[in-house]
Copies of this chain bind each other. A is one copy, B any other.
Amino acid sequence: MENQSEQSPIRILIVDDHPIVRAGLATLLRREPDLRLEGGVNSAEEALAFLAGHAVDVVLLDLRMPKTTGIEVLPMIVANPGAPRVLILSSFDYEEEIYRAAMAGARGYLMKSAPRREILQAVRNVAQGGLHFPEGIANRILERKGRPGLSPREQDILIMISKGLTNKEIGHALLISQFTVRNHVNHILEKLQASDRTEAVSIAIQQGVIAIHS
């Protein structure tokens, strides 16, 4: 595990549902003698199947994919000892997403808009056991660590708020009192530092706390 470039190459799997991105990464990685692209798949399911049959050092994982998302397979990939290191590739820097990825065992986080040089550096860095989280993001994660996250109940309620339901309607739907709902709402406002339910939804979508429903 010292100088990989003169020993065995770093074996890489790309997991991304965008053919263009897979092709771009493949082109980039193939130029490097110390890196070997073992495969590219377009879903979380295929990634698990591939990993069952191939030895891989680093998985480049897209977070936003149809069906099973990157954040969902991440724990399954890194679970057993000797598992590949996972480097997240994302289009966004939604804090919540980065935070969850870090907590779920990702070894690094890269924006797809990163320059080629940084991508190669991150792959090598992660392969050698390092962590690669971009400048500033680490700080933001630490900031967030102090603040508590939303509880499951609070998340449920926030999603219903984003759909325009009133406290009374939410209480009815969840079979709890509207007063309880109001308490949860107040906690949500505190935690997100929002001044009202509308700003809370805005912040939550922005931070990736709740998904943008289509």
Q: Which A residues fall within an 8 A CB radius of B?
A: 17-28, 91, 112-116, 119, 161-164, 166, 194-199, 201-202, 205-206, 212-214
B27 and A198 form a contact (CB under 8 A) = no
Further pairs besides A162-B202, A206-B214: 4, Cβ < 8 Å: A18-B113, A21-B24, A201-B201, A206-B213
Number of copies of this chain in the oligomer?
Answer: 2
Interfacial chain B residues near A17, Cβ < 8 Å: 113
Interfacial chain B residues near A19, Cβ < 8 Å: 24, 113-116
Interfacial chain B residues near A161, Cβ < 8 Å: 198
List 5 A-B pairs, minimum CB-CB distance, nearest first: A164-B199, A24-B24, A23-B24, A164-B195, A20-B24
Cα A202 to Cα B213 with chains together (Å): 9
Interfacial chain B residues near A198, Cβ < 8 Å: 161-162, 164, 197-198, 201
Nearest B residue to A91 via CB reads B91
Nearest CB of B to A97, in Å:
13
B18 and A28 form a contact (CB under 8 A) = no
Nearest B residue to A169 via CB reads B195
Partner of A196, one of B20, B21, B164, B206: B164
Cα A24 to Cα B22 with chains together (Å): 7
Interfacial chain B residues near A201, Cβ < 8 Å: 198, 201-202
Interfacial chain B residues near A197, Cβ < 8 Å: 198
| 20 pairs from A and B in contact (CB 8 Å cutoff) | A17-B113, A18-B112, A19-B114, A19-B116, A20-B28, A21-B21, A23-B25, A24-B25, A24-B27, A27-B27, A161-B198, A162-B199, A163-B202, A164-B195, A164-B198, A164-B202, A198-B198, A206-B212, A206-B213, A206-B214
